[in-house]
Amino acid sequence: MPDGKPRPLKYRELRKKLKKFGVIEDPHCRGKGSERVFIKPRSSGEMRGPQYTVKHHGDGCEISKPVLVALLRRFGIRPGDFWG
C-alpha cells in the first residue's frame, strides 16, 4: 500500500515517523496501564510541550486512523507531510 494514504500504523512505525517531526516517546513517563506518552519538546533538553498518550500492547500493535488524526492535530503536523 502506498505511504501517501492514511492507514492504521504499527506502533513501531508510528514512533519512527514521529521522530522525524521532533516527537519522541518519553522514556520516564507512562500513562495509565499500558499507555505510552509521546511528547514534542519545545526546546532541546526540556521535556515540556504538547503530549499525547497512545495504547501500547507491543511494538506490533496497530494504532487506528482516528487516533493518528488526533495525534497529528495535537502536535501540529500536517497530514500531507506525515503521510507523504
* pLDDT of the chain, 84 residues: tens digit per residue: 445 677 899 999 999 999 999 999 887 776 677 888 999 988 766 778 888 999 888 888 999 999 999 999 999 999 999 988
Grid cell of 33 as nine digits? 496501564
CA-to-CA dists, residue 13 to 38, 44, 74, angstroms: 14, 23, 18
Instruction: Report whether 23 contacts 39 (CB < 8 A).
Output: yes
Q: Which three cell numbers stand for residue 81?
A: 507531510
For the full predicted model, state whether its pTM sits above 0.75: yes
Q: What is the pLDDT of residues 36-50, one digit of tens each?
A: 899 998 876 677 888
Domains (range + CATH), the chain: 9-83 (3.30.920.30)
Provide the CB-side half-sphere exposure for 49 (13 A, CA): 19
